[in-house]
Amino acid sequence: MKLLLSPYKLAEDFLLLEAVEMMKTNKGPQLLSHEPSAHFLRKEFPSMPKEARDALSFFSKAELLSTKAQIDKNAKATGGDYTYRRQTLLRKAYDELLNLKPYLGLCQWMHRIKLDAGRFQTGPCSFSSFRPILSFEVTKEGDLFSLICYVELNAGKYLLSDFTRNEFLLQSKNEYFLLTWRDYQLLEWLTQQQLPASAETFQQNILGRIQSDYSVDTGKLIQAERIEVKPRFQVLLSEISNNFLVLTPQWNYDGFIAEGPFTNEFEITRAGHSYVVVRDNNEESPLRDFLLGLHPNFQKQLNGYYYLSFADAQKKQWFAKTYHQLLDREIDVVGMDMLSHFRYSSEKIQTKMEILEQLDSHLVIGMEVSFGKERVPLNELQKMLWAGQKAVLLKDGSLGLITDEWLDQYGQLMKHGKPDKNTIRVGSWIALNGEIDSSQKVVQKEWWAKWNRWRTEEHVALFPLPDSVQVESLRPYQQKGYEWLRLLSAANAGGCLADDMGLGKTLQTICYLASRLEENPLTTHLVVCPSSLLYNWHQELKRFAPSLRIKVYHGPQRDRAELKNPEGHILITSYGTLRSDIEEIKQVVFDSIIADESHNVKNPSSLTARALYELTARSRFALSGTPIMNNTFDLYGQFSFMLPGMFGSREFFKREYADPIDRYAEPEKIKALQKLTAPFILRRTKEQVATDLPEKNRIDTLV
């Protein structure tokens, strides 16, 4: 009695295995097949281990039907579709074959394979004990990239295309190899990708998926980005042997961590992109020298890290003093929340908070964070949060644990504010996220009532259109955008109207500007845009709000004297003129500034962005159909205009959000940034507002 493998059945009815015996008949030798039922296997294979018989019996019709019925029942309860049901059954078949693998050599094997024209071939086969390992090579043709997949077996390397693959089974001649489930899933995923692909798509979508788990030979076809910056110092705390505290010096090169013996550079891959990090020994040495001087024992330790017994670390409060010295020198302390044998405080974190001063753009908040009777310095707490830590050192040497619940409530305030002793200064925008305002009532009840109605009631107009606007009505989504602008302005905040091109950002903004001038006719407003759009703005203002007073401040004939008495006007100027005349323009106090095509200021170091930041205004709004063009850092420059100080320094924003999101796609950081920016970005696509558009979708008629 032998076992027959039919690998093509994995794509059909899953009757992958059966028992066969050779029978002599008048027509010659014939194979007589038997279902691998539990009863049959016990009778015909009495010496086979029970585990092997149980795995084989799964492939009998009765067992498969029973398993299918259970999977269908579960899928019906959870909404699983055909693909889900098939994958679940396939995984079950794989698991049973994996259970059978240790016993494959105990049986004689045959296989039946499909040929062309519906013919089959049957013959002897075997299963290999070697595990196939996948590796890849990048190829390039023109500007497009693709992959070659290899299978490494017993020190040999072969093309995957030389094998026949049936789901997770690889076949070479009469020998079979079992892929890991992860390898099978990857190969299935790769068959669904559009290859070859452009460099950007290939690196982000393909390499980003496989390089962390598989060997990939890029052949220098993927150009590595060189990182040449000054490092930020940090010290990693860890434990060894449950008795020693270890301090490892590390150097943070723009998000890439170097440690250990010095090398001139090192190469690293993140999310499909290759980077060469250039190290600087002169810049790194001060951290080593500082650590060497912290304890006499360190002079004898030359392994790239420094260690002390727990007893020595706590003697004369050495660890507590070192901790404060590191923070005072702006050296990040990481790993403290992972220490398991340094004791944690039994006291829970407690917080008292009170608004001490409320300005148009800022709040000064009295804040006290404590563990029991010990108050934690706010500047030290902020540094630990910036370093990604969830514990602070208390005076008794224990660690105070910062809970996730505390971070949800106060994390944004602590990370984005400016602490000074027992107070913290933060932009009043933070109230719109709800956590502070729920207890401190920064924004009036009437405003919150309108904001909640705006968010929840689709077809209720909160504000009428200004009398000066010559349109009968706005489309529903345009009315919502106009109201959003008014609500943020009423809260002394700003934002980015990021609707698709052609959905009427200009018209919504004109309605907002007209409403501000209706409330206070002596206010002055500024529209900054590319020079190519200057007269488009002028025409649309004349078309929809002809009674408003408009000045186009641009061109060689512009009169700087017009800036001396601009009250009651909407000034329109270009980014280039703003740069040239910033000294004169910044003397004007504006009620509202509108930055059209705001991606022009996504680089916060550009002269254009810096000029825009110098202006004074009550409310600032950006208009852009593409607020993010290349990476998350594009938001920093624009938010620095809309809500100055919201994201702190560019280094903080890169460390806290841009690098974790763009390089590592960290879901927690994505969620935190979305929560932070949600009230201040309004984006609608044409697909989302399709029911509001004219039948022929004449977007040329939309402003």
How do residues 271-320 score in pLDDT, each as one tens digit? 657 788 999 999 999 999 999 999 999 988 878 899 999 888 878 878 88
Q: What is the pTM of this model?
A: 0.57
d(CA 642, CA 620): 5
Which of 329-343, 612-626, 631-645 tops mean pLDDT? 612-626
3-class SS at 601?
A: helix
CB contact at 8 A, 67 and 59? no
d(CA 541, CA 157): 69
H/E stretch holding 567 = none
Q: Where are the beta strands (DSSP E) in 181-283?
A: 215-217, 225-227, 232-240, 244-253, 256-259, 265-270, 273-278
d(CA 592, CA 611): 16
Work out the burial of residue 414: count CB atoms within 10 Å of its CB; fewer than 13 is exposed, 13-18 middle, 19 or more buried.
Answer: buried
Pull the structure tokens for residue 434: 């709800």
- The strand pairing partners of 226, in sequence order, are 276
**For 486-505, what is the mean pLDDT?**
89
Output the pLDDT for position 443. 62
d(CA 499, CA 478): 10
Cα Rg of the chain (Å, integer): 34
Pull the structure tokens for residue 15: 């009757």
703 pLDDT band, cuts 50/70/90, is very low
Output the pLDDT for position 45. 87
Show me where the domains of the chain are located: 2-127, 133-217, 226-338, 349-439, 457-643+682-688
d(CA 337, CA 333): 10
CB contact at 8 A, 381 and 369? yes
Assign a CATH topology to domain 457-643+682-688. Rossmann fold (3.40.50)
H/E stretch holding 56 = helix 50-57
Mean pLDDT rounded to a whole number for the chain: 86
Output the pLDDT for position 242. 77
In the chain, DSSP finds a helix count (H) and a strand count (E) of 24, 34
d(CA 588, CA 240): 63
How do residues 262-280 score in pLDDT, each as one tens digit? 999 888 877 657 788 999 9
How do residues 437-492 score in pLDDT, each as one tens digit? 445 555 667 888 888 889 888 777 889 999 999 988 898 889 999 999 999 998 88
Asked whether residue 656 carries a pLDDT value surpassing 90, the answer given is no
